[in-house]
Amino acid sequence: MARPLIGVTVSRRSGWRIFPLVAFNIWLAGGRAVRWQAGREADVSAVHGLVIGGGDDISPDFYGGEFVTSARLDPARDELERRLVSEAWAQNTPILGICRGAQMINVALGGTLHQDAYKVYSTSRHVWTVLPRKTVSTMKGSRLARLMGRTGLRVNALHSQAVKDLGDGLVVAARDEGGMIQAVERIRDPFALGVQWHPEHLFYLRRQRRIFRALVTAARAGRDRHGQIGAVCEEADLEPLPV
């Protein structure tokens, strides 16, 4: 069976090194990836799933925030990804957001961000590492909780911004010990999940690989059912995986 095709957006600054890692995770999950970035053609209708990757801050112009001088912006990438999220949402294309990608899903759907999240959540543990040294808790009854099979997760962290007000159709799926939002998800099918951490760096952890497998499962279901996507996480939830 042909692998579903997943469009992956990356930074023009760091995409050359990040895309291969995301593509590797997608391949492990049974899909294949195509690289998108500002300045290249990107068409949601040509793929079966979408990953909005990390890197770069989102311009406050998109959500009415105040400009922070330390922010690293790419307005062309902002425009591209906001369009892709809106089109994917409208076309029932499964979406995974990674770090900035989770924030972009939220902003594209009308939400806002904390630009200096750790200033707001002073009791949240501020770490900057690709290693799983931060603890987050999934929300009871969330799709993410079912997918992970447990409440507490060890994750990495490379972010300074975080979701503030939720976008339309989204709910909180995880928070850290200080209350900062660490994941958001779509209320109903099709699959849409945004995680504040970087699961692509944690491919050696089976539970983190489930995130990519859930996306690919949803993409395959949409392709095989001619765009009519049903319950997309059942395969990932029900197949037992060791820790």
The verdict on whether 200 is a catalytic residue reads yes
The verdict on whether 198 is a catalytic residue reads yes
Q: Measured in whole angstroms, how far is the alpha carbon of residue 105 from the centre of its chain?
A: 8
Catalytic residue of the set 48, 81, 159, 200: 200
Catalytic residue of the set 81, 198, 201, 233: 198
Per-10-residue mean pLDDT, the chain, length 243 = 93 84 98 94 96 86 64 84 96 97 96 93 94 97 95 94 96 98 94 97 97 97 64 41 31
Q: Which CATH class is domain 5-238?
A: alpha beta
Q: 182 CB contacts (<8 Å, ≥6 apart)?
A: 136, 155, 162, 173, 174, 175, 176, 195, 196, 197
User: What does the pLDDT read at residue 131?
Assistant: 97
Catalytic residue of the set 81, 99, 185, 201: 99
Domain boundaries, the chain: 5-238
Q: 242 CB contacts (<8 Å, ≥6 apart)?
A: 206
User: What does the pLDDT read at residue 9?
Assistant: 96
The contacts found for 207-210 with CB under 8 angstroms, 24 or more apart, are: 207/148, 207/149, 207/150, 207/153, 207/241, 207/243, 208/155, 209/25, 209/28, 209/29, 210/147, 210/148, 210/236, 210/241
The verdict on whether 41 is a catalytic residue reads no
Largest CA distance in the chain: 49
- Positive or negative torsion for Cα 77, 86, 98, 117: positive
Residue 3 DSSP one-character state = P
CA dihedral 125, 126, 130, 135 (to 10 degrees): 10
Q: 24 CB contacts (<8 Å, ≥6 apart)?
A: 200, 203
**What's the rounded Cα separation, in Å, for the pair 202 and 156?**
8
